[in-house]
Amino acid sequence: MSTVFLGCVVGFIAWFLVRYLVAGFYTVNQNERAVKTSFGRAERVGDAMTSQDPIADQLTAEEKERYNYPQVRMIPPGGPYFKWPWERVYKVSVATQIMNMAYDPENPSANDAGTMLEAVTKDQLNTGLKGQIRWHVSEKNLYAYLFGVKRPITHVMGYFVSVLRERIANFEAPAHARPGDASALHNIAATAVIGISINDLRKNLSDINDHMYRECAVSAARYGITLDASLITGIDPPHEVESALAAINTAYNQVSSDISLAQASADQKIVQSKRAVEIETLKAQAEVLPIVALAEQLSDLKQNGAGALDAYVRNVRLKLYSEATTVIVEANHD
């Protein structure tokens, strides 16, 4: 009996050593970060809180109070590390990940199986949006990602979709364009036909992406996920306005071509007119210069005395006589 009991004791000790001591060693990969809890409580970094970190600068005062998470001690890549039986290690990947913006984590079959997100414009036109978002776990707010919300990516995707739909719903083509901007006619035509210019949405994709990036910058402080970029790659109009949009594009291209030709012709005429004015100005200056020089010369002769001026006039007259073939002289009847 004692031998059986001793064997049980030895077996328990061996199991305990393997289960809780040998298995207590762990490592953290290069693309991972870890947080260790003791009796369910994460190791804190003093009294530091999320509201004191720069990632919370874009939160409102009410949001800073609501999303004020403690800063936890992060375990960097490496190892081996050791944990006691009452401790637990949570590992998360901090590698950048790409996800279709139409993907619904709670319902993968939604939004055409995560391939196209629908959004309604101001004129109640149902458009299809395609694109991707790039994100990674924020190392500065691991508490929010691990313990703040149950499924952080679900919250972030929901927030992203709501902001994007709000942006599309309130988007309007510019009412006024710069003078001479050929796109003004296209915007006016598009607005007159379908209310909202799908073309304008398409050519402002970069601005929409920048707007989404700014609006979602608070996700790191809220949910512990940082959105690196929003890449909206396509906006598909409803089927009922595709023909109208094609007609608008055709008319726009024709108008743009006509305006470009007219502008080129006008620019050419302006250049020719400027050149003609310059030529005539130079001719006038060339005709005026001898007269001005002669006036200055005569003025100098007059200052030297009346005889000098008379002699100059006589010499000029004699030169003209020598070059003339016929001379008509007024008869003197005295």
Compute the residue count for the chain. Answer: 334
Reported confidence tier of residue 124, pLDDT bands at 50, 70, 90: confident
Token code pair at residue 189: 């035509």
Q: Give the pLDDT score at 229.
A: 78
Q: Which domain holds residue 207?
A: 97-261
Q: Are residues 295 and 224 in the same domain?
A: no
Instruction: Say if 51 falls within a structural domain.
Output: no
Q: Give the pLDDT score at 191.
A: 46
Dump pLDDT digits (tens) for 200-259. Answer: 777 777 788 888 888 888 888 888 888 887 788 877 766 655 665 666 666 666 777 778
If we measure between CA atoms, which residue out of 119, 272, 286, 94 comes closest to residue 196? 119
Dump pLDDT digits (tens) for 283-330. Answer: 887 777 777 777 777 777 677 666 666 777 777 777 777 777 776 767
**Is residue 192 a contact partner of residue 248, using CB atoms and an 8 Å limit?**
no
Q: Are residues 234 and 280 in the same domain?
A: no
251 against 166, higher pLDDT:
166
Token code pair at residue 259: 């305006």
Instruction: Say if 53 falls within a structural domain.
Output: no
Domain count, the chain: 2
Q: Look at residues 261, 285, 313 and tell me which one is the last residue of a structural domain.
A: 261
**Is residue 255 a contact partner of residue 247, using CB atoms and an 8 Å limit?**
no
Please determine, for residue 186, whether its predicted confidence score (pLDDT) is greater than 70: no
Q: Are residues 116 and 177 in the same domain?
A: yes
Q: Are residues 117 and 226 in the same domain?
A: yes
Q: Give the pLDDT score at 190.
A: 45
If we measure between CA atoms, which residue out of 22, 27, 21 comes closest to residue 81? 27
Q: How far apart are CA 19 and CA 11, in angstroms?
A: 12
Please determine, for residue 90, whether its predicted confidence score (pLDDT) is greater than 50: yes
With 0-12 / 13-18 / 19 or more C-beta atoms within 10 angstroms meaning exposed / middle / buried, residue 197 is buried
Instruction: Say if 267 falls within a structural domain.
Output: no
User: Cα–Cα–Cα angle for 214, 216, 221, nearest 5°?
Assistant: 115
Q: Give the pLDDT score at 240.
A: 59
Token code pair at residue 36: 């260790």
The average confidence (pLDDT) of the chain is 78
